Amino acid sequence: ISALNYMGTSTNSNSSTGAIGEFISAIVPLNSSVSLASQVLNNVTSIVLTGGDWDVYGATAYTGPNATLVATVRAGTSPTTSSYAGVVGSLVTNIYTSSAAGIPVYPIGSPILNGPTTRYQVASGVTTTIFLVADATFTVSTTGVFGALNARRAR
């Protein structure tokens, strides 16, 4: 490994690919929300990590018409598509009790989950896809999820 791989940046720009501090992000905006079926895990987005040590974190927000009654929302990062399997500590759950009016449309009162930072180690010469996965338990109508998945190379 060359010395360049250990160098970060001392400016307000991004670190080079392969360098400490490299940042990867995937964002799904509100107008591109992923539709959810109640109690069915879905991928919100994904990123591809190259060899190294990564700190990965994500955030999700849920949206839907006022008729939707939401009981629980969950989100986490995973190396397995549409699954929470694989990484202890990456899942966050919010018990969300909707009023009779249901889930307000984002951003007023929408359940928002900020997941914990999770460490992923990827072997040299290998790539690994990490998924931002979410689900909700709800009745009456529909709901969707949107958010961001971020990774920063730690070393």
pLDDT in tens, 118-141: 999 999 999 999 999 999 888 877
Residue 110 has pLDDT above 90, yes or no: no
> In this predicted structure, which of 7-16, 105-114, 131-140 has the lowest mean pLDDT?
105-114
Say what percent of the chain tops pLDDT 90: 45
What does the pLDDT read at residue 125? Answer: 92
The Cα–Cα gap between 100 and 19 comes to 51
Question: What pairing do the DSSP bridges indicate for beta strands 143-153 and 52-63?
Answer: antiparallel
Tell me how far the alpha carbon of residue 107 is from its chain's centroid. Answer: 18
The two structure tokens encoding residue 15:
């670190």
Q: Using one digit for the tens of pLDDT, what is the confidence trace for 59-107?
A: 998 887 777 777 788 899 999 999 887 666 677 777 665 555 455 444 4
Residue 19 has pLDDT above 80, yes or no: yes
Q: Pick the closest to residue 115 from 92, 149, 94 (CA basis).
A: 92
What does the pLDDT read at residue 105? Answer: 41
Average pLDDT score, the chain: 82
